[in-house]
């Protein structure tokens, strides 16, 4: 009885041991402490990043003997324990963005904000981050073209590359990012025209900001399909028609087209019903201001420095704006400007 029992116990034990060995064997790196939340692959990638950027003071917490889930600038997901956010800000990196950022496959947010002396291009390895939802590289001296391959980041929902020194044209491939809700490329040195493909963003896109660049040419007709909340194309060199952005049932609330060379007749446009912010100043816009503008609940409105003519419509909020919203046009008249003759 005893013999039998101990025999079955020992076979049970060896089964357990075998299972344990199999489990341990399948673990990526048995040399690291099992009590860490941090995944060893993530730790390795982060240490490679640290090696590549050499900003020791800021990354003092990135110490191999500690659990990387508790390091500064990173966050581990509560369920997977994988690094899913890498948020670098307010520091100085005298190197390019390290290619090892591509070795953090669970990354959902990658942020470089206000980084001095960051150099070189965005690494191609970033395309390995197929779970990336947010890419934000702002206030850095990064220059060169915005790479085509960003269009491969299929999960991306928010792309902000504002306040850098990117030049060249905007890649049409960004329109492949069909889950994008925000795209901000403001304050770079981007030139060329707005890609026709951007009409494909349709109703997912909420924020569309290309302001303060050197974009030229006409606004693509395809943008009439955008159903954004906020569109800012101001401070560029755009020419011609912008009436495709004015549809009565467009969802747009904020529309800033100021400081361009737009030249079209405003007389017959239909303003989006929900428009609260409208800046058309400093263009070459012709015609008159449609009466329908009085139906809008505007808190900011600027028609100044254009070639508009005729009577300023009376009603709604219109007369609450100062004359500065209307000055320097060809022949606008009526309150708050002088009476029409
Ligand atoms: C890392 O942490 C260990 C233990 O806390 C410490 O002894 C070591 O000096 C640290 N290394 C660095 C480079 O800070
Ligand atoms: C780093 O950037 C700062 C501020 O932008 C600048 O003053 C400094 O010269 C730069 N250093 C190097 C080594 O490029
Ligand atoms: C895009 O969003 C939809 C709806 O939220 C989601 O089902 C889909 O997986 C997303 N696509 C990618 C590539 O993330
Ligand atoms: C806009 O309104 C018109 C008329 O009210 C309607 O025929 C059209 O389908 C609407 N378009 C959208 C995109 O809702
Ligand atoms: C305008 O705003 C209202 C209230 O937020 C919303 O219900 C409506 O759908 C909006 N209309 C359009 C065309 O976006």
In a domain, 196, yes or no: yes
**Ligand 1 residue neighbourhood (C-beta within 6 Å):** 63, 65
Q: Which residues of the chain have pLDDT under 70?
A: 1-34, 54-56
Which ligand has the shortest distance to the CA of 114?
A: 2
What pLDDT, on a 0 to 100 scale, did the predictor assign at position 25? Answer: 37
Task: Report which ligand 3 atom has the smallest distance to the Cα of 178.
Answer: 1
The number of beta carbons lying within 10 Å of the beta carbon of residue 250 is 22
Is the distance from the beta carbon of residue 130 to the nearest atom of ligand 3 less than 6 Å? no
State the Cα–Cα distance between residues 232 and 235, nearest whole angstrom.
9
Using one digit for the tens of pLDDT, what is the confidence trace for 99-153? 999 999 999 999 999 988 888 889 999 999 999 999 999 999 999 999 999 999 9
Tokens of 178: 């069909």
What pLDDT, on a 0 to 100 scale, did the predictor assign at position 55? Answer: 67
In the reported structure, the alpha carbon of residue 295 is separated from the centroid of ligand 5 by a whole-number distance in angstroms of 14
State the Cα–Cα distance between residues 275 and 259, nearest whole angstrom.
19
Is the distance from the beta carbon of residue 51 to the nearest atom of ligand 2 less than 6 Å? no
State the Cα–Cα distance between residues 169 and 171, nearest whole angstrom.
6
In a domain, 69, yes or no: no
In a domain, 194, yes or no: yes
In a domain, 163, yes or no: yes
| CB burial string 86-121: b at 16+ within 10 A, e below | bebeebebeeebbebbbbbbbbbbbbbbebeebeee
Mutate to test the pocket of ligand 1, among 65, 67, 68 (most ligand atoms within 8 A of CB): 65
The parent domain of residue 93 ranges over: 85-333
In a domain, 112, yes or no: yes
Domains of the chain: total: 1
The number of beta carbons lying within 10 Å of the beta carbon of residue 63 is 12
State the Cα–Cα distance between residues 41 and 88, nearest whole angstrom.
20
Ordered strands of the 165-168 beta sheet? 143-145, 165-168, 189-190
Which ligand has the shortest distance to the CA of 202?
A: 4
State the Cα–Cα distance between residues 120 and 152, nearest whole angstrom.
20
Which ligand has the shortest distance to the CA of 276?
A: 5
State the Cα–Cα distance between residues 172 and 109, nearest whole angstrom.
23
In a domain, 271, yes or no: yes
CA-nearest residue, atom 10 of ligand 1: 63
CA-nearest residue, atom 9 of ligand 2: 117
Predicted TM-score (pTM) of this structure: 0.86
Mutate to test the pocket of ligand 2, among 92, 93, 114, 120 (most ligand atoms within 8 A of CB): 92
The CATH number of whichever domain residue 105 belongs to comes to 3.80.10.10
How far are the Cα atoms of 151, 213, 235 from residue 165, in angstroms, in the given order? 20, 10, 16
In a domain, 4, yes or no: no
In a domain, 73, yes or no: no
Classify burial at 57, counting beta carbons within 10 Å of its beta carbon; exposed 0-12, middle 13-18, buried 19 or more.
exposed
CA-nearest residue, atom 3 of ligand 5: 274
Contact 278, 250 (CB under 8 A): no
Mutate to test the pocket of ligand 3, among 155, 158, 201, 203 (most ligand atoms within 8 A of CB): 155
What pLDDT, on a 0 to 100 scale, did the predictor assign at position 239? Answer: 98
Alpha helices for 253-316 (secondary structure H) = none
What pLDDT, on a 0 to 100 scale, did the predictor assign at position 92? Answer: 78
């Amino acid at each position: 009885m005893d013999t039998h029992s101990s025999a079955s116990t020992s076979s049970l034990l060896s089964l357990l041991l075998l299972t344990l060995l199999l489990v341990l064997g399948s673990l990526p790196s048995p040399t690291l402490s099992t009590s860490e939340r941090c995944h060893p692959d993530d730790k390795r990638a982060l240490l490679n990043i640290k090696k590549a950027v050499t900003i020791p003071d800021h990354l003092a917490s990135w110490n191999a003997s500690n659990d990387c889930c508790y390091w500064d600038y990173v966050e581990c997901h509560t369920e997977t324990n994988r690094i899913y956010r890498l948020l670098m800000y307010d520091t100085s990196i005298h190197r390019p963005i390290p290619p090892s950022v591509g070795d953090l496959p669970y990354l959902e947010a990658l942020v470089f904000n206000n980084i001095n002396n960051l150099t070189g291009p965005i690494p191609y390895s970033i395309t390995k981050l197929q779970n990336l939802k947010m890419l934000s590289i702002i206030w850095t001296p990064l220059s060169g073209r915005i790479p085509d391959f960003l269009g491969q980041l299929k999960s991306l929902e928010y792309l902000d590359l504002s306040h850098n020194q990117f030049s060249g044209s905007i890649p049409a491939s960004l329109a492949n990012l069909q889950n994008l809700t925000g795209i901000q490329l403001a304050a770079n040195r981007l030139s060329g025209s707005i890609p026709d493909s951007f009409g494909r963003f349709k109703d997912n896109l909420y924020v569309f900001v290309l302001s303060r660049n050197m974009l030229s040419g006409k606004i693509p007709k395809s943008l009439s399909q955008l159903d954004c909340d906020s569109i800012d194309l101001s401070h560029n060199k755009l020419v011609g028609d912008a009436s495709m952005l004015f549809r009565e049932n467009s969802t747009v609330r904020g529309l800033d087209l100021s400081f361009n060379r737009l030249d079209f007749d405003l007389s017959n446009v239909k303003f989006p019903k929900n428009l609260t912010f409208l800046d058309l100043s400093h263009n070459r816009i012709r015609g008159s201001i449609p009466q329908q503008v009085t139906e809008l609940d505007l808190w900011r409105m600027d028609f100044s420095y254009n070639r508009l003519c005729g009577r300023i419509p009376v009603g709604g909020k219109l007369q609450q704006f100062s004359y500065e919203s209307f000055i320097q046009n060809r022949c606008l008249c009526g309150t708050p400007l002088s009476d029409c003759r």
